[in-house]
Structure 1
Amino acid sequence: MPPSDPSDKDSEPFVETDPTGRYGRYDELLGSGAVKKVYRAFDQEEGIEVAWNQVKLSCFSDDPAMTERLYSEVRLLKSLKNSSIIALYKVWRDEWSNTLNFITEICTSGNLREYRKKHRHVSMRALKKWSKQILKGLVYLHTHDPCIIHRDLNCSNVFVNGNIGQVKIGDLGLAAIVGKNHSAHSILGTPEFMAPELYDEYYTEMIDIYSYGMCVLELVSLEIPYSECDSVAKIYRKVTSGVKPEALKKVKDVEAKAFIEKCINAKPKARPSAAELLRDPFFDGIVDDDDDENNDVNGTGRVVS
């Protein structure tokens, strides 16, 4: 047995590696949800940190629909290439441990909800920059062929690279690919962010615009919408009867309030599209790194690649 390298004691050991040996998973848990756990990992080929998402398929042995949904998320993620969407690098199923594993890019500062709580003093200009990047991700999803509806957009599903002020949409686990009619028929999502028509089980990508408006409201007010309600039933009653969240009253910036109200209009057809919102005067003067002729939105609202 060769003598061990004395420098090894300073390195962090991998708990496991992918079948090719390129990606190594550390023991550090970055996040844990109902469906998956996310660990810090390392891409040895590129020399970059990545996120290792792991789903125990045994949890869904009685629910083939859920398993299929997970596979759909991964297949969907792999097809998406946009700077405002979390990138997927590799996916495989580990038969021995019965897990679905996929490697995604990592955002160093966690999710936007926690990040905003941590940094309470943020200018309206900075909030607009974050909001604009989320919107660019929605334009990409909604103008994708076929159209993709996220269906669970909220601040905990948006991730941040705080050192460069970059935000990206992630957790596309509930996303629906809809055909040319742009409609879907199942109730899914986070109640505080769900558009009223979602409860009628007939909706279009305009539900994402509603959820996006609630995200902007949370960023500006530092309050989760409908936090005055202590049950999902009460949220449902308010949403379906057109009662706006109390947090809206706390928005002192007139321009921001008007922008949010456009997004959360009870009538889906009255909401602007993501491409239209991107051209809203609310974003006048707000420029980010992706605002160039090769990676912005043209007059039709389609992403130019």
Structure 2
Amino acid sequence: MPENKQGDFVWPNEAQYYELLHEIGIGASATVWEAVCKANGDHVAVKIVNLDETNTSLDEVRKEIKVISRCSHPNIITYYTSFIKENELWLVMELLEGGSVYDIMRTNFPNGLQDEDLIAAILKQVLQGMCYFHECLHIHRDIKASNLLLDKHGNVRIADFGVSAIINGGFMDRRGVRQTFVGTPCWMAPEVMEQVTGYDYKADIWSFGITALELANGHAPFAKYPPMKVLLMTLQNEPPTLETTLAGGKKSRFSSKFKEVISTCLKKEPKERITSAKLLEKSFFKGVKKSDYVAKHLFNKLPSLQERTRRVKEQLEAEKAASDPRIPASMGWDFPDEEEEVTGLAEGTETPAAAPPVVDAWHSDVGAHYTKGQEAGAGSYKIVYHGVDNRNTGLAIMLHEVPIKAQSTEDEDVEKRAQLHEFLDRVTKLRHPHIISVLDIWETAEALWYATELCETGSLQTYVETNGPTHIDTARRWALQLAHALQYLHAHSIIHRNVNTAEVLLRTKQDKVLDVALCEEILWNIRDDPRFALRPKQRDSYLSPEQYDDTAEKYTEKTDVYSLGMVVLELLSGGPPYSECKNTIMICRRVSQGKTPQALDAVEDSLAQLFIRSCINQQPGNRPTIEAILQDPFIAGAVP
């Protein structure tokens, strides 16, 4: 990493020369500390980024840091030096005692800044920094209040440029167009979401407009919704305005000049957006207040930066615990395919039901009955091992380990834990020829464990990837078996919600005919338990329209019907649904618009086409019930 000089002083590039004092900033994969440089005694800010949680090469990070270290502007934060310590990137920069505009608003102005002069003074400084950045042919890609820092005199500095972008991957191509998916959803420009034609500095103009609304209201538009719904609303709705974002239908208290700035920035078509230089010429930014006005109105009765960070951390943890449990806490915007794949399994036999665990005495003693073998696969929320049931003369089984957080003694958490145990007791009693049996469930201090019967042939997903399109008669038989499995689950008041070919395993009957067995994904039914550090993620192309919504109560048995239709489509087409889409956002948009996968038009069997179309109907109420599916001509005559 390059060493930066400040006069004759060379900033040290080893961690031993910096004493970390206390946290002053918290992010998804980084923490910011106030620190002392032992070489000169200066107080600095040190941002520590966990490189294990990034998806780009170290060489790319070095290149971007080299660029930003050369930036010099009064409204852009000064970076001193950077270096690697084990799996961490340390960025040493100037310390800005005021903290971020976001955490100041969160502390003292939760309903936004009521003073338009104050907003104008902040935004003009931001715009000046953006102009410099764009003149240097750079894009920030994450302009928002939490990336606007203040010194003690009220001067605004833009932070988290360059590094935050490149850590998520990619550079500008020869046309000056970015091709990566970077940014925070609420502030993200439509073209960044879609990733169809790339984007340029006009993406920052959109984010600037959203930030203006954030300053006025105390939050960004759509901030209360989960990320996927934010993406949908941004793409489908008209651009937000001051009038549409004011809470409770209140009348806007802001001037027409301010409204014009916002509407000029928030054009869905990038070519229609104004440049940062032209935006700075708007009358709204003429004669604005100086930085001392900002300091006077923002810092009055403001707690220390350390105290604010502590409060924000507590608030974020509370919000995370109360947030929509269907959205993974560590959701990234590359949307990797993390389904676990279990291969190379030996043939197993039918296992009798084990005695269910006791709700108030889930001791780890049950685990002593099993011997853990080699790891068979790992996914987004669990690790799967080969295993042996020592009570049944060495019967081969599978062991599943799901990490859990430290147990809480809060009354609400204890109640949820009791409900979890009650549900899992029911799971161990489920027995159906086309559902993987859960034999035992137990807890240790670090994980929830469960043992299941063994399916020796692997997943339906692997079968399709290896063999291509499935014969129509085989697809009909497997669809019938899955429909019976879902009927059984629904009769026991269980909605699977994660039906896809990766969750359907194959096993061989005595006549070598392959049968399917649906994995009973118990984690989808214990999603409210606060102790689970990771949660399963449905394959993007199988998500039904209602699963993009933010209301869990909208889940019904018809959600499983939708996924069943997609399974049949993958079997007949030989590839995942919506394979024509480049990313999750494109899938999300097609689904929300009611557009079916292109592969459906290529399905030759007319009965299969009608079956799939009925299952994946946009409206859950218009989809058939499982009982109706079992009578559908496509599968009614199939051999079980």
TM bin (shorter chain) = 0.7 to 0.9
Q: Please state if 1:198 is matched with 2:544.
A: no
Q: Please state if 1:52 is matched with 2:399.
A: yes
Q: Residues 83 and 278 from structure 1, CA distance in 2 versus in 1: closer, same or farther, beyond 3 angstroms?
A: same
Two-structure CA RMSD over aligned residues (Å): 2.8
Per the TM alignment, residue 22 of structure 1 is displaced from its structure 2 partner at its CA by: 3.0
| CA distance in structure 1 between the partners assigned to 2:377 and 2:423 by the alignment | 18
Q: Residue 449 of structure 2 aligns to a residue in which SS?
A: strand
Structure 1 portions without partners, runs of 5+:
1-16, 178-187, 289-305
Q: Please state if 1:110 is matched with 2:462.
A: no
CA contact (8 A) 1:77 1:172 kept: no
Match of 1:26 among 370, 373, 383: 373
Q: Which has the higher helix share?
A: 2
Per the TM alignment, residue 233 of structure 1 is displaced from its structure 2 partner at its CA by: 1.7
Q: Which residue of 1 aligns with 2:432?
A: 82
CA contact (8 A) 1:83 1:168 kept: yes
Q: Residues 232 and 75 from structure 1, CA distance in 2 versus in 1: closer, same or farther, beyond 3 angstroms?
A: farther
Q: Residues 20 and 206 from structure 1, CA distance in 2 versus in 1: closer, same or farther, beyond 3 angstroms?
A: closer
Q: Deviations over 1:130-167 (max 9, x none)?
A: 111111111111122xx211111111011110444111
CA contact (8 A) 1:74 1:102 kept: no
Q: Residues 243 and 105 from structure 1, CA distance in 2 versus in 1: closer, same or farther, beyond 3 angstroms?
A: same
Q: Please state if 1:99 is matched with 2:424.
A: no
CA contact (8 A) 1:130 1:167 kept: yes
| CA distance in structure 2 between the partners assigned to 1:85 and 1:73 by the alignment | 17
| CA distance in structure 1 between the partners assigned to 2:471 and 2:555 by the alignment | 34
- List aligned pairs for 1:173-184, cutoff 5 A: 173-176=522-525
Q: Highest CA radius of gyration, 1 or 2?
A: 2
Match of 1:137 among 485, 489, 509: 485
Q: Residue 252 of structure 1 aligns to a residue in which SS?
A: coil
Per the TM alignment, residue 111 of structure 1 is displaced from its structure 2 partner at its CA by: 1.1
Match of 2:518 among 149, 166, 169: 169
| CA distance in structure 2 between the partners assigned to 1:60 and 1:45 by the alignment | 30
> Partner amino acid for 2:547?
L
Count of residue pairs brought into register by the alignment: 255
CA contact (8 A) 1:151 1:174 kept: no
Q: Please state if 1:124 is matched with 2:472.
A: yes
> Partner amino acid for 1:55?
V
The alignment's TM-score, normalised by the length of structure 1, stands at 0.75
| CA distance in structure 2 between the partners assigned to 1:208 and 1:237 by the alignment | 20
Q: Please state if 1:254 is matched with 2:606.
A: yes
Greater relative contact order (Cα 8 A, min sep 6): structure 1 or 2? Answer: 1
> Partner amino acid for 2:399?
W
| CA distance in structure 2 between the partners assigned to 1:87 and 1:159 by the alignment | 12
Match of 2:499 among 138, 145, 153: 153
CA contact (8 A) 1:70 1:173 kept: no
Q: Which shows bigger deviation, 39-48 or 147-156?
A: 39-48
Structure 2 portions without partners, runs of 5+:
1-363, 527-536
CA contact (8 A) 2:630 2:636 kept: no
CA contact (8 A) 2:470 2:574 kept: no
Q: Which residue of 1 aligns with 2:591?
A: 239
Per the TM alignment, residue 71 of structure 1 is displaced from its structure 2 partner at its CA by: 6.0
| CA distance in structure 2 between the partners assigned to 1:198 and 1:74 by the alignment | 24
| CA distance in structure 2 between the partners assigned to 1:206 and 1:134 by the alignment | 14
Q: Please state if 1:217 is matched with 2:569.
A: yes
